[in-house]
Amino acid sequence: MSKEYETVIGLEVHVELATKTKIFCGCSTAFGGAPNTHTCPVCTGMPGSLPVLNKQVVEYAMAVGLATNCNITRHCKFDRKNYFYPDNPQNYQISQLYLPICRDGYVEIETGKLSVNQKNAGMTESGEVKTKRIGIHEIHMEEDAGKLVHDDWADASLVDYNRSGVPLIEIVSEPDMRSAEEVIAYLEKLRMFIQYLGASDCKLQEGSMRADVNLSLREVGSTEFGTRTEMKNLNSFTSIMHAIAGERERQMDILESGGKVVQETRRWDDAKGESYAMRSKEDAQDYRYFPDPDLIPVDISEEWIERVKASQPEFRPAKIERYKKEYGIPDYDIELITESKRMADIFEEATAICGQPKKVSNWLMVETMRLLKEKCMDADKIRFSPAHLASLIKLVDSKVINNNSAKEVFEVMFEEDVDPEKYVEEHGMKQENDEGAIKSICEQVIEANPQSVADYKGGKEKAIGFLVGQVMKAAKGKADPGTANKILKELLS
């Protein structure tokens, strides 16, 4: 008889922090760049070089810890994790083992209501909305390693130290998750906090957020945990979901046939849809951790914590509630706009200036989202200023330009953040609001299109649309279509 199993999951999440410089030296953290150009003696592990801690790293780690209800360790330290690998020039990684900066936190997740990411990952809605606490064991600070580039052509492996010393935080959860749905809800919650804090862009695909999934099974009702495996290399929500389903299946087969799950690290191959063992616990390394003698402990004062607390932004759940009360726009709009803090900031500022929340929201949801998608850009890279969006809306409201011209101006604004008022002026885009002038164009159009006029008079209401189009064309797009419509009807009645 087959037994019922419960899936138990804990995550280790690495996040690359958005500091300008590395954690222990002044080198740039910019992604890309010619190999080994963002390097110095410290981040290439030269003997005699000394690390100096980047204060911003501590502040970001504290901010993430406070957002996730952690206790901040007032006296924390860095430790050396010793191992040899060519992308690790010092032969040790500076990390935190004994006194990590944050401990004992939690985040609240909601399940039962799917987010856009969960739907895209192919999940089906389970119906009942539930909230659950996922414990955070600790958050520690550490440095990233360099990158090996295997060049088959030259039959050589090259190493690029640009990433060496880029600051990371590792967020270690308690084994509190029970399904892929909970895992994704947890990751989305972490990502929301971190993005709203501006601490990282958290892109799974580009590796600025990386999740290792620890998974075990136990019989339903059992209070003890089973033996777990750890899966690395998961760089999308979809592959996390597949890996969880695949590993659950694999462990179940082992347990059902009376075998034992081996504690090991496995690599999930999303293309093949299976995982394979990388290393078992037996050959787990002894990292010989010890406190780094080159770095002094970090003492965090109450006052420093208070300062970081005071500068925490309003996070998404609170923002959503406030928007519902303040702006009277549909929940759907609120969901989309608050997905990115940048978008929400633009919404609030532009609305404060022009007083038209729904119009601002429409520009963000329709044209902005369309252009972002077209240019494969993230919302945090939006360049146009809220003031310019507000003045574009005012130009349309006061009939200085029509909607079509506004879209044209917006595309330029999106690229170069031009001032729409100036742009409209300089490009002669002001619409013709003088009824007399529009009337004379209408008369010409009526003259030139007897067939459509006959159609309209014969009861084909739609023919008026064609005539309006002809007026717009003759006016080089600068007439108000509403006015043209009104005048045409008057002339034809």
- Chain centre to alpha carbon of residue 111: 20
Measured between alpha carbons, how far is residue 376 from residues 206, 342, 368, 372, 379 in Å?
14, 16, 12, 6, 10
* Whole-number Å distance between alpha carbons of 273 and 246: 7
Stretch in the footprint of Zn ion (CB under 5 A) among 32-40, 245-253, 450-458, 471-479: 32-40
Site for ligand ADP, residues 137 to 176, rule: CB under 6 A: 172-175
* Whole-number Å distance between alpha carbons of 272 and 274: 6
Q: Residue 12 binds what, of ligand ADP, Zn ion, none (CB under 5 to 8 Å, by partner type)?
A: ligand ADP
Q: Residue 419 binds what, of ligand ADP, Zn ion, none (CB under 5 to 8 Å, by partner type)?
A: none
Instruction: Choose between 230 and 417: whose C-beta lies nearer to ligand ADP.
Output: 230
Instruction: Choose between 12 and 417: whose C-beta lies nearer to ligand ADP.
Output: 12
Q: Residue 216 binds what, of ligand ADP, Zn ion, none (CB under 5 to 8 Å, by partner type)?
A: ligand ADP
Q: What's the closest the beta carbon of residue 215 comes to Zn ion, in angstroms?
A: 37
Residue nearest to ligand ADP (CB): 10
Instruction: Choose between 226 and 420: whose C-beta lies nearer to ligand ADP.
Output: 226
Q: What's the closest the beta carbon of residue 276 comes to ligand ADP, in angstroms?
A: 19
Task: List Cβ<8 Å contacts ≥24 apart for 331-335.
Answer: 333/358, 333/361, 333/365
The answer to whether 93 contacts ligand ADP (rule: CB under 6 A) is no
Instruction: Choose between 25 and 185: whose C-beta lies nearer to Zn ion.
Output: 25
Q: Residue 40 binds what, of Zn ion, ligand ADP, none (CB under 5 to 8 Å, by partner type)?
A: Zn ion
- Please list the residues that pair with 303 across neighbouring strands: none
- DSSP, collapsed to helix, strand or coil, labels residue 78 as coil
- DSSP, collapsed to helix, strand or coil, labels residue 293 as coil
Please choose, from the candidates 376, 366, 368, 324, the residue with its C-alpha nearest in 3D space to the C-alpha of residue 346. Answer: 368
The answer to whether 6 contacts ligand ADP (rule: CB under 6 A) is no
Measured between alpha carbons, how far is residue 70 from residues 64, 210, 288 in Å?
9, 21, 27
Q: What's the closest the beta carbon of residue 12 comes to ligand ADP, in angstroms?
A: 5
* Cα angle: 485, vertex 486, 492; to 5 degrees: 90
Q: What's the closest the beta carbon of residue 149 comes to ligand ADP, in angstroms?
A: 28
Q: What's the closest the beta carbon of residue 283 comes to ligand ADP, in angstroms?
A: 14
Helices 55-67 and 302-310: crossing angle, nearest 10°?
Answer: 70
The answer to whether 396 contacts ligand ADP (rule: CB under 6 A) is no
Total binding residues toward ligand ADP, as defined by CB under 6 A: 15
Stretch in the footprint of ligand ADP (CB under 6 A) among 7-15, 68-76, 151-159, 360-368: 7-15
Q: What's the closest the beta carbon of residue 216 comes to ligand ADP, in angstroms?
A: 3
In one-letter notation, the amino acid at residue 206 is E
Burial class (CB in 10 A: 0-12, 13-18, 19+), 454: exposed
Q: E-assigned strands of 17-86?
A: 71-72, 75-76, 79-82
Please choose, from the candidates 263, 266, 262, the residue with its C-alpha nearest in 3D space to the C-alpha of residue 275. Answer: 266
Measured between alpha carbons, how far is residue 365 from residues 7, 119, 345, 403, 411 in Å?
39, 19, 14, 16, 14
Main-chain phi, psi angles of 304, to 5 degrees: -65, -45
Q: What's the closest the beta carbon of residue 225 comes to ligand ADP, in angstroms?
A: 3
* Whole-number Å distance between alpha carbons of 284 and 298: 30
The answer to whether 8 contacts ligand ADP (rule: CB under 6 A) is yes
- Tokens matching residue 193: 């906090």
Stretch in the footprint of Zn ion (CB under 5 A) among 34-42, 212-220, 452-460, 475-483: 34-42
Of 28, 40, 387, 417, which one interacts with Zn ion (CB under 5 A)?
40
H or E, element range at 93 = strand 92-95
- DSSP, collapsed to helix, strand or coil, labels residue 405 as helix
Site for ligand ADP, residues 169 to 228, rule: CB under 6 A: 172-175, 214-216, 225-226, 228
* Whole-number Å distance between alpha carbons of 40 and 49: 9
Q: Residue 27 binds what, of ligand ADP, Zn ion, none (CB under 5 to 8 Å, by partner type)?
A: Zn ion
Q: Residue 228 binds what, of ligand ADP, Zn ion, none (CB under 5 to 8 Å, by partner type)?
A: ligand ADP
Stretch in the footprint of Zn ion (CB under 5 A) among 17-25, 46-54, 412-420, 452-460: 17-25
The answer to whether 27 contacts Zn ion (rule: CB under 5 A) is yes
Q: Residue 25 binds what, of Zn ion, ligand ADP, none (CB under 5 to 8 Å, by partner type)?
A: Zn ion
Instruction: Choose between 97 and 377: whose C-beta lies nearer to ligand ADP.
Output: 97
Of 43, 393, 400, 475, which one interacts with Zn ion (CB under 5 A)?
43
H or E, element range at 390 = helix 386-397
Stretch in the footprint of ligand ADP (CB under 6 A) among 2-10, 152-160, 290-298, 312-320: 2-10
* Whole-number Å distance between alpha carbons of 230 and 59: 30
Total binding residues toward Zn ion, as defined by CB under 5 A: 5
* Residues forming the site for ligand ADP (CB under 6 A): 8-12, 172-175, 214-216, 225-226, 228
* Residues forming the site for Zn ion (CB under 5 A): 25, 27, 40, 42-43
